[in-house]
Amino acid sequence: MEKFKKDPMVCKIGDVTFAGQPGDYPTVCCFSIFQESDKLFDKGSRRKGFNEKKAEELLKTADKFTKETGVPAMADIVASPGEKFNKYIDFVTSVSNMPFCVDAIMMRTKLDGAAYCAEKGLLDRMFYNSITVWEQDLETEVKEMKEIGVKNALLVAFDTNDSTPNGRITGAQKLLDVIDKVGLKLKNIIVDTTTLNAPANALCGIANKMIKEKWGFATASAPSNGSYMELKRFKEMFEYKGWAGFDAAVEALSAFYYNDLMFTGPMAGVPRVMTAVALADAFLATSMYNTTRQLPKDPNHPLVKLFPSFSEQLKVAWEKPSDLKKM
């Protein structure tokens, strides 16, 4: 693992800083909440409302693990077609200060959610999830994002005719061309190279590296898509604990491999995922130290927070190179 010749962009959404050079900042874990199958809804019924006590526990647990591990959490707030984001956004922002995204299948639902964030003064804390190459009315969507004043957006880069990393570059360029044509000025761009399955997330990492080299944007993928699509099969083969190990592994490997932000599945998985990502981040930062002799820029990075004695040894070894041989 080496530094990029040109420093990639550093992003700040809400109080969370991420991206930049590998190892400088921890990987953001963006957990879904209020998705269709979320157990916060009794028997899957969304009309009856959600279990606010359970939702608060999930958000506070994520905040607790951020405080303890140094891994930042964000909320991927999901609304179903025809729903409004309002009640979900109000609830999340009343319980936690974490950044969040508005995530929906339908363009109108997303735009209405973004507009509500603008009304509430939350655009610095929100990112738009997402604009895609397969949206048939993409230019209209981007124009409305501009009118709303969206500052942070996720670009899902994928070429349906080319599933290689090069296809992700092609897809990203198509989206950037529309953004440029419309004149949407974004403060932060995150490029999501999408996930086909768990091992294919390696292609996302390769594409992410290419994107950073070409544009310097923050990069993302959804490793949880790869693990959750195997949930039933692997639970039958290895039981739940076996699948949980599989999930933690794909999250950790992806955190190490050029992902600044990851979509990490339902928020109920926070304890399993955030500890795995914390170790991956510490592993990455230590690997980078071997090249740069620099510790992370974030003082709350997992390497510093969870391994204070070791990180202090690295710091001393940099000041006294001969001490590095003793480690």
pLDDT in tens, 158-180: 887 888 999 999 999 999 999 99
Of 42, 117, 38, 115, nearest to 80 by C-alpha is 38
Beta bridge partners of 101: 76, 127
CA distance 114 to 127: 8
> Which residues of the chain register pLDDT less than 50?
none
Residue 155 lies in a domain: yes
Residue 146 lies in a domain: yes
pLDDT at 321: 57
CA distance 246 to 240: 10
Residue 5 lies in a domain: no
pLDDT at 2: 86
pLDDT at 319: 63
Of 217, 224, 181, nearest to 201 by C-alpha is 224
pLDDT at 318: 66
Q: How far is CA 37 from the centre of its chain?
A: 20
pLDDT at 48: 78
Residue 1 lies in a domain: no
Instruction: Give the total number of structural domains in the chain.
Output: 1
Instruction: Give me the domain span that covers residue 286.
Output: 10-326
Residue 4 lies in a domain: no
Decide if 300 contacts 287 (C-beta within 8 A): no
Decide if 199 contacts 206 (C-beta within 8 A): no
Residue 2 lies in a domain: no
Q: Which two tokens stand for residue 233?
A: 């099969």
pLDDT at 163: 86
Residue 148 lies in a domain: yes
Tell me, what CATH number does 308's domain have? 3.20.20.20
Residue 3 lies in a domain: no
